[in-house]
Amino acid sequence: MSKNLILFRHGKSDWEASFNRDHDRPVAERGRRAAKTMGRWLAAGDRVPDLAITSSAVRAKTTLELAAAAGQWACPIQETGDLYEATVETVLAVIQRQSDAYANLMLVGHEPTWSDTLTYLMGGGTVRMPTAAMACLAFEVDQWTQVGQGRGSLLWLMPPKLLNPVSIP
């Protein structure tokens, strides 16, 4: 058996919008379009997660909501403050406490944590996660508690700019 983890970086945020703290920064129109494109692409490829967990930051929550609605995902969605300004160790703890009933997990969050987490889980290399990009790692494990450093294989990394919005249903 294997487990798949999708890391989804929030869409481009709107630095011109009015917000009191970084946590409340919204998604820009470009980020909204990219989130919808990614949601439809994931659904078209039959890659929808069994569970999606998002950072509590407005831009991450909005990105996930837009992607799920556009792709008509039926998976449960959870929110946690643990993924906002998280360390790789914190992300790993979130992964490891998930139910083994889920084979495909999505986490929605931020840079530089997502690139650092990908590198850690692959056991090295350099990865850069652009806004609204998704990366999928496969783990040959039966339990989420077995996920750790160097245990993941990168299956794909998809930035939205490589997708033609017209070609995505």
Q: Is there a domain that residue 126 lies in?
A: yes
Q: Which helix (H) or strand (E) holds 117?
A: helix 113-122
Instruction: Tell me the per-residue pLDDT of 89-111, one tens digit each, with 9 for 90 and over.
Output: 999 999 999 999 999 999 999 99
Which residues form the domain of 125?
A: 3-97+116-137
Q: Is there a domain that residue 143 lies in?
A: no
Residue 160 has pLDDT above 60, yes or no: yes
**Percent of the chain surpassing pLDDT 70:** 96
Instruction: Tell me the per-residue pLDDT of 117-128, one tens digit each, with 9 for 90 and over.
Output: 999 999 999 999
Residue type, 105: L
Residue 46 has pLDDT above 90, yes or no: yes
Token pair for 79: 């929110």
Q: Is there a domain that residue 103 lies in?
A: no
| Collapsed DSSP state (helix, strand, coil) of residue 138 | strand
Report the candidate in 95, 98, 75 with the shortest Cα–Cα distance to residue 149.
Answer: 95
Q: Is there a domain that residue 144 lies in?
A: no
Q: Is there a domain that residue 108 lies in?
A: no
Q: Which residues contact 7 (CB under 8 A, 6 or more apart)?
A: 106, 107, 109, 114, 117, 118, 129, 134, 135, 137
Q: Compute the distance between CA of residue 33 and CA of residue 70 in angstroms, rounded to an integer.
A: 10
Q: What is the CATH number of the domain that holds 70?
A: 3.40.50.1240
Tell me the pTM: 0.93
Q: Is there a domain that residue 51 lies in?
A: yes
Q: Compute the distance between CA of residue 132 and CA of residue 81 in angstroms, rounded to an integer.
A: 19
The β-bridge partners of 135 are: 7, 157
Q: Is there a domain that residue 169 lies in?
A: no
- The count of structural domains within the chain is 1
Q: Is there a domain that residue 68 lies in?
A: yes
